[in-house]
Amino acid sequence: MWNLPAFEESLGNLRWPELGTWEKWMTYALAGGGKRLRPALAWESYRFYQGENASWEKGLPLLQAIELLHTFTLVHDDVMDRSVLRRGRPTLYKQTNENTAILIGDALLIAVYQRLAEIAEPALKPLITCLSQAALRVCHGQLQDLALAQTPTPQVSLKAYLHMITEKTGALLGAALEAGALLATAPQAECIALRQAGELLGRFFQLQDDYLDAFGEETGKIRGGDIAEGKKTFLWLWAWEEATLREKNLLEDPATPPEKRRETGLALYERLNLRKRGLTFLETAYEDFLQAAQKVQMGAVLRQIGESLRHRQR
């Protein structure tokens, strides 16, 4: 069973004396809480394929490495977005400055490989390959996201958006499932199928985030934040197809105040009944994940994980 308190304690015990007084910002970045979904996926995968020989002590360095990698992406994402809050507290970027946040993000990535160095062969090399490829794909997804933000909405396709979120969010979820199986030396075909299922779970997870941003009631955030920022989510792309010229101008014009853009977008979403259409789209994305989950031995476990995420409200 996934032991979140024990994992949180293990993160709090990590030390990087090489960073001197800046070490505290590593701890700050890691202490942001959240679901710890990625290391949890890795643990469930490792535990399933290792069976009764699964050991928390053996798995922990990998779980920590995965969370360090995820935190690295969040820190740099906050710098690029100039975000001041994450999970209800100031971001590292806000607490320090741009240069410090970039360097702490770099240090978090380096720390990934420090933790991986604790893992013995034969799993070490495949794990380095797995997580390195995932990190590159996350960077690719972030670059795609930046490019889409600068692209006029009529030139952005739903296919391009889905590919971007699969890279940016799905790649690391897929790698987490794959990595747990690699640590347990599961068959290669099974590891690949796990990665593919995880990517589809990640895509569903991001689409759900998009939906909850517009229609969620318990997110703890102001509804329509993505609209205010002009993010071209699947809801935005749908709405654009049927928006009036006035609505399009308000949504796309950089001079539009964020609050006005948010109000315009939310009203448009309601007028077009995107609440219902969006739920149908989420169900389709979830079914894609379930079909992929059926192809792996731990399919029943993946379905349980999917159900726990499927009905979340934040």
pLDDT tens string 132-183? 999 999 999 999 999 998 999 999 999 999 999 999 999 999 999 999 999 9
Q: What is the mean pLDDT of residues 70-91?
A: 90
Q: What is the mean pLDDT of residues 43-66?
A: 97
**pLDDT > 80? residue 313:** no
Residue type present at position 238: W
What distance in Å separates the CA atoms of residue 102 and residue 108, rounded to the nearest whole number? Answer: 10
CA atoms within 13 A on the CB side of 76: 19
Q: Which pLDDT belongs to residue 81?
A: 83
Q: What is the mean pLDDT of residues 99-124?
A: 96
Select from 66, 64, 63 the least CA-distant residue to 46: 63
Q: Band of the pLDDT at 74, cuts 50, 70, 90?
A: very high
Domain locations along the chain: 4-310
**pLDDT > 80? residue 276:** yes
Cis peptide before 5 (omega within 30 of 0): no
Q: Which pLDDT belongs to residue 1?
A: 80
Q: Which CATH architecture has domain 4-310?
A: Orthogonal Bundle (1.10)
pLDDT tens profile 231-259? 999 999 999 999 999 999 999 999 999 99
Q: How many residues comprise the chain?
A: 314
**pLDDT > 60? residue 32:** yes
What whole-number percentage of the chain has pLDDT above 70? 98
**pLDDT > 90? residue 271:** yes
Residue 102 in tokens: 């970039």
Q: Which residues contact 243 (CB under 8 A, 6 or more apart)?
A: 251, 268
Q: Band of the pLDDT at 220, cuts 50, 70, 90?
A: low
**pLDDT > 90? residue 83:** no
Please answer whether residues 51 and 189 qualify as being in contact, where contact means their C-beta atoms are separated by less than 8 angstroms. no
Q: Which pLDDT belongs to residue 84?
A: 86
Burial of 128 (0-12, 13-18, 19+ CB in 10 A): middle
Q: What is the mean pLDDT of residues 56-76?
A: 97
Residue 95 in tokens: 């607490």
pLDDT tens profile 284-300? 999 999 999 999 999 99
Q: Which residues contact 233 (CB under 8 A, 6 or more apart)?
A: 161, 210, 213, 214, 226
Contacts 24+ apart (CB under 8 A), 101-106: 101/75, 101/76, 102/76, 103/22, 104/22, 104/25, 104/26, 104/29, 104/75, 105/29, 105/72, 105/75, 105/76, 105/79, 106/72
Select from 57, 45, 25, 275 the least CA-distant residue to 176: 45
What whole-number percentage of the chain has pLDDT above 90? 89
Q: Which residues contact 44 (CB under 8 A, 6 or more apart)?
A: 2, 180, 298, 301, 305
**pLDDT > 70? residue 45:** yes
Please answer whether residues 274 and 214 qualify as being in contact, where contact means their C-beta atoms are separated by less than 8 angstroms. yes
Q: Which pLDDT belongs to residue 228?
A: 93
pTM (predicted TM-score): 0.94
CA atoms within 13 A on the CB side of 7: 27
**pLDDT > 70? residue 218:** no
What distance in Å separates the CA atoms of residue 211 and residue 281, rounded to the nearest whole number? Answer: 10
**pLDDT > 90? residue 186:** yes
Task: Please provide the average confidence, as pLDDT, over all residues in the chain.
Answer: 95
Residue 201 in tokens: 């779970």
What distance in Å separates the CA atoms of residue 285 and residue 291, rounded to the nearest whole number? Answer: 10
Phi, psi of 12 (to 5 degrees): -65, -20
Q: Which pLDDT belongs to residue 268?
A: 98
